[in-house]
Amino acid sequence: MSNAPLMPKATAVWLVDNTSLSFSQIADFCHLHELEVKAIADGDAAQGIRGIDPVSGGQLARDELERGERDPSYRLKLQESKVRLPEVKRRQGPRYTPVSRRQDRPSAILWLTRNHPELKDSQIMRLVGTTKTTIASIRDRTHWNIATLTPLDPVTLGLCSQLDLDFEVNRAAKNAPPRPPEEEGQTLLPADVTTGGETSPFADFERPERRRDDEEKIDVDSVFAKLKGLPRGEEEER
Mean pLDDT of 14-25: 92
C-alpha span between 196 and 204 (Å, rounded):
13
Q: Which of 176, 169, 142, 172 is nearest to 153 (CA)?
A: 169
72-77 CB contacts, 8 Å cutoff, 24+ apart: 72/22, 72/25, 74/25, 75/25, 75/28, 75/29, 76/21, 76/25, 76/28, 76/29
> Residues with Cβ < 8 Å from 134, sequence gap 6 or more?
105, 106, 109, 143
Residue 232: the pLDDT is 60
Residue 175: the pLDDT is 75
C-alpha span between 193 and 198 (Å, rounded):
8
| Exposed / middle / buried, residue 147 (Cβ in 10 Å: 0-12, 13-18, 19+) | exposed
C-alpha span between 3 and 59 (Å, rounded):
10
Give yes or no for a contact between 112 and 124, defined as CB atoms under 8 angstroms apart.
yes
| pLDDT tens for each residue of 64-102 | 999 999 998 999 988 876 666 566 555 555 556 565 567
Q: Is pLDDT at 59 greater than 70 in this prediction?
A: yes
Q: Check: pTM over 0.85? Answer yes or no.
A: no
- The pLDDT confidence band at residue 176, using thresholds 50, 70 and 90, is low
Residue 230: enclosing H or E segment and its boundaries? none
User: Residue 20 corresponds to which amino acid?
Assistant: S
The H-assigned helical ranges of the chain are 8-18, 23-30, 34-42, 62-70, 105-115, 121-128, 132-139, 154-157, 162-175, 191-194, 220-229, 232-237
